[in-house]
Structure formats: C-alpha cells, structure tokens
Structure 1
Amino acid sequence: MTLSLAVGRPTLADHVVPRGLVTDISLVVGGAALTGLLAQVAIPLWPVPITGQTLAVLLVGSTLGASRGALSMLVYALVGVAGVPWFSDSGHGIAWLLGSSGGYIVGFILAAALTGWLAQRQWDRKFLHAAVTFLAGSGVVFLIGLPWLAVVTGADLVQTLQWGLVPFIPGGIVKALVAAALIPAIWQSVRRLDEAKGGDLR
C-alpha cells in the first residue's frame, strides 16, 4: 500500500505524477510556494490589497484535491507566520495573520478544500462546471475574510463590503474564469497524451 497525503478520488496531479508520500509533500510545498509567489503580484489597497493569491488557491485546490490543497494552504499560512515574508506586500508573522487580511488566508484553506472536493468529482474538466467551482471557491474566501475584516477594523457592514468585497469582484471573476479555462485545457492535453499511450483517462 502506497502512503499518500491524498484522500479520495484522483485529481489532475494524480494523472501527471503517481501518488506517494514524497510526491505529495513536494506538491503541497510547491502549492504553498506558488501562492506565496502570486501574493507578491499585488495592487496596494488598504486595508486589504488585491493580489494573485486567489488564483493560486484555485489552481492548487483543483489540481491537488481537497486534502492536499487544504494542507498546501495550511503550510502557506504556518510558514508565513513562522517568518517567511510571502504574504502580500512581503508580510509575515502572527501579527500580520491576525490583521485585516488574515481572514482571507484562513479562507484559502477552506477554498482549496472545496475546489479540490469538486475537482475530485470532475467539476474541473469542463469550462462551465469549472467556472462554478472556482467562483464558489472564491466566495468561500470572502465568507471567512469579510467577518474577520469587520472584527479587526470595527467597520460596519457597508464599510466592510466597500473595503473587503467590492474592489475584488472584477478581479475575482477574471481569476476564476482564467482558472476555468486553464484547468480544462490541461485536462484535454493530459487526455490526448493518455490516449496516445493507449490508456483510459477517468
């Protein structure tokens, strides 16, 4: 029996590399690193900057699945708290996590789990289903991030939405649609390679 961090049905990553503990750890760490990298692609905005993190979360969750995707985001959060400056604006530490953007980081864990769970049910293989999957994942980030922002800043509902939701809607839709176009396209490429080898991709 092969040890693995993956739970449940195979995902895109499993059709590219075989499951295994070492492989899974590498994928989890790689997903965290990708998130940290895209966090530096940012538009400064107070109290929450616009970044590329959400795109990374959607991609990591859908390709790795629920368990590995969530673990990857957990690693991202814990390593950032430990001192690696890979939160947005090169932020790090527990104080940053407990600040106005911290709820979004926690939301990443749940968003990756949701998108991964849906991907394991093949919702990432066609554009429309993938778009719904990634929009839902983005919504989970706000579901956690907005109440957190309100508590930290003491803002009322209207101000919280103006600060933490409204500026992110256009970019969030674009990132979800980019992911919804990219992941099914990769699946098509993997399927063609598998068929060329005489395999049966399911």
Structure 2
Amino acid sequence: MTDLALSRPFSPLRLESRSLAWRAGAVIVGSLLLALSSQIKVPMYPVPMTMQTFAVPLIGALYGWRLGAVTVIAWLLQGCVGLPVLAGAAGGAAYFAGPTAGYLLAFPFAAALAGWLAERGWNGSRVGFAFASMLAANALCLVLGVAWLATLIGLSKAIAVGATPFVLGAVLKSALAATTLKAFAPRG
C-alpha cells in the first residue's frame, strides 16, 4: 500500500470530522441497526445464529475503530439495562452471564478490529482485504465466545456447539459485509 493511501484513511461516512451531535446520531442509528440485526436469527442451542456478526464488523469498518466500538458498547448497555435489543427481542443483565456472554462481550473488540483494519486499507476499496478483516472480526467473536462457553460446558462441547455450526455463516456474513462495504468505497 502506498503512503498516499495511508494518508487518506477509509472513512466513507466522515464521522471523525462531524459534530458531536452527528456522532451521537450515528451511535443511535448504529445501535438500531444492531437491534434489528439481532432479530434476524436462526434458533440454535445454546447460542442462536444472528445477523449481529454481519452488523458489528460493518459498523466498525464504516464508523472507524473508536466510534464503532462505542456504538456496540452503547447497544450492549441498552441490552444490559433490559431494552429488547438482543436476539429474540431480549434484554437484561442475565444475558451477560449466560452462554452468549462471551460473544456479546467480544462484539466491541470485533468492531474495533474491523475498524482499525479498514483504516489501514482493509476496506471496501480492496474487497479481498475487506473480506479478510470481516472474517477476522467474526473469528474473534467465535474464539472469545467459545472461551466463555467452555467455562460453562467444557471446551470440546463448546467448540462443537458454539463454533463449528457458525463457521459457514461467518464466512457468508463476512462476504456480505465486505460487499456492502465496497458500496461505500470512494469511486475513482
């Protein structure tokens, strides 16, 4: 990558140059997107498959690593206080101690990772790298989610029910997110 590419970071929404009100609005819109993506789910036990792992890294890449992580944290706080923003229109502090806790707590880190990589050229301007960054964010969610789940049901069972069924979905959602990110890439 050239120095010129690094001097112009990927920032399709240009949120870093917007007012605090704009950024606050972006956090609200992002948390609404996360709440909606949480409702698109395939029921699985003990962890449902949702579109959250499509939305989380995409928000990180579009918002930048800092505001992306803040947006995901805001959404998690909404869920923690009981707002129905988590999978199945659920909310409450119990979700942050149950089988899904590791995945939920991984989300801000996944958004930050995707945003950090996007700012360094792994973005919609280079769709292969965008796919790799989205896949890395999804993998981080699976690793941290399985690590927590393993404390509840053991490592081999956690991998069997908390990672293996989600690998194909992670690949497909990463491809969809990279394609979506490409739509935001500067032309020319």
TM-score by length of 2: 0.90
Give me the whole-angstrom Cα distance separating, in 1, the residues matched to 2:32 and 2:159.
29
Give the match for residue 122 of structure 1: 121
**Is this contact kept in 2: 1:66–1:113, CA < 8 A?**
yes
Q: Residue 197 of structure 1 aligns with which residue?
A: none
Q: Distance in 2 between matches of 1:10 and 1:42?
A: 30
Q: Is the 8 A contact 2:84 2:90 kept in 1?
A: yes
State the AA in 2 paired with 1:143: V
Instruction: Please name the residue that 1:34 is paired with.
Output: 33
Gaps of 5+ in 1: 1-7, 193-202
Higher relative contact order (CA 8 A, sep 6+): 2
Number of paired residues?
180
1:160 aligns to what? 158
Instruction: Find the counterpart in structure 2 of residue 171 from structure 1.
Output: 169
Instruction: For residues 81-136 of structure 1, give each alpha carbon's deviation from its aligned partner in whole angstroms, at most 9, with x where no partner exists.
Output: 11111111122110112110111111000000010011111210211110111111
Give, as a single letter, the amino acid of the residue that structure 2 aligns with 1:56. Answer: A
| Equivalent position of 2:180 in the other structure | 182
Q: Give the TM-score normalised by the residue count of structure 1.
A: 0.84
The structure number with the bigger radius of gyration is 1
Match of 1:67 in 2: 66
The letter for the 2-side match of 1:128 is G
User: What percentage of aligned pairs have identical amino acids?
Assistant: 32
What is the distance in 1 between the residues matched to 2:53 and 2:10?
A: 23
**Contiguous gaps of at least 5 residues in structure 2:** 1-7
Code of the aligned partner of 1:191: R
1:84 and 2:71 correspond: no
Q: C-alpha displacement at 1:143, in angstroms?
A: 2.2
Give the conservation status (yes or no) of the 8 Å contact 1:34–1:56: yes
Once the two structures are TM-superposed, the CA of residue 191 in structure 1 deviates from its matched residue by: 2.6
Q: What value does the CA root-mean-square deviation take over the aligned residues?
A: 1.7
Distance in 2, Cα, partners of 1:91 & 1:150: 23
